[in-house]
A and B are shown apart, each in its own frame.
Chain A
Amino acid sequence: DAGVIQSPRHEVTEMGQEVTLRCKPISGHNSLFWYRQTMMRGLELLIYFNNNVPIDDSGMPEDRFSAKMPNASFSTLKIQPSEPRDSAVYFCASSLAGGKHTDTQYFGPGTRLTVL
């Protein structure tokens, strides 16, 4: 079975540009997570979807960040406008179980974002 698929794997952009990161969860999984990883802040949960509905977006840094899950097989994380401090590795993960506590999360390979 294919794992979680993320694209692009690397993105280099200039400050002020819009960036869209994409994720395809494992088929049949009903929970999806977006994380950001930096040296300074570690691994932070940005947003959590269950059955395509955002359950917890308290980790989204500010209004420049938005995430959507139009269907069970696709999600996007958008940054507009991007800033150098957004440079990080962004992970998408999916899980079979959702709700109050989720079971094992399977991670994608991550997207390394560099904002110049």
Chain B
Amino acid sequence: AQTVTQSQPEMSVQEAETVTLSCTYDTSESDYYLFWYKQPPSRQMILVIRQEAYKQQNATENRFSVNFQKAAKSFSLKISDSQLGDAAMYFCAYTGGFKTIFGAGTRLFVKA
């Protein structure tokens, strides 16, 4: 069965610094997608970044980038130049084999 694990319930970062959120997953599928979603206090789920498993190149969206290690089944999110607006709950998600699974989330605090 597929699983998604976020081992860091909370993280804290100083404004303008860089932080990395961890995510590991388990699957026997060879073709799948991975995502990071952000949920601010408004509770709206917002896509941050996506990665297709068949692509070796790591996805990047402005200050957000991933480190995708397919063999290790690892999918971490790096936030550079952290801003106060980045404070939110971050969820790692997997879709594959007709399944969609979200991790438990990591709450990110940004200090001014």
* Cβ–Cβ contact A100 & B100, under 8 A: no
Residues of B within 8 A of A103 (CB): 33, 50, 95
Q: Helix, strand, loop or mixed for chain B's interface?
A: strand
Q: Name B residues whose Cβ lies closer than 8 Å to a Cβ of A.
A: 29, 31-33, 35, 37, 43-47, 50, 91, 93, 95-105
Q: Mark A72-116, 1 if CB is under 8 A from B, else 0.
A: 000000000000000001010100000111111111011000000
**CB neighbours of A107 from chain B (8 A):** 37, 44-46
Q: Which of A43-61 contact B (CB under 8 A)?
A: 43, 45, 48, 55-56
Q: For residue B31, which residues in chain A have a CB less than 8 angstroms away from its CB?
A: 100-101
State the CA gap A37–B39 with chains docked (Å).
12
Complex-state Cα separation, A59 to B100, whole angstroms: 11
| A-B CB pair tally, cutoff 8 Å | 59
Given contacts A33-B100, A42-B105, A48-B100, contact A101 B43 (CB under 8 A): no
Is A104 in contact with B99, judged by CB distance below 8 angstroms?
Answer: no
Decide if A101 touches B97 in the complex (CB within 8 Å).
yes
Q: Pick from B33, B43, B50, B93: contact of A89, CB below 8 A.
A: B43
Question: Which range contains the number of A residues in contact with the other chain?
Answer: 20 to 34
Of B29, B32, B95, B102, chain A has the most CB atoms within 10 Å of the CB of B95
- The residue of chain A having its C-beta at the shortest distance from the C-beta of B32 within the complex is A101
C-alpha gap A43/B99 in the complex (Å): 14
Q: List 7 A-B contacts (CB under 8 A).
A: A43-B91, A45-B99, A101-B96, A102-B33, A102-B95, A105-B100, A107-B45
The answer for the CA separation of A42 and B95 in the assembled complex, in Å, is 17
Which chain B residues lie closer than 8 Å to A55 at the CB level? 98
Per the bound structure, the CA–CA distance linking A37 and B43 in Å amounts to: 10
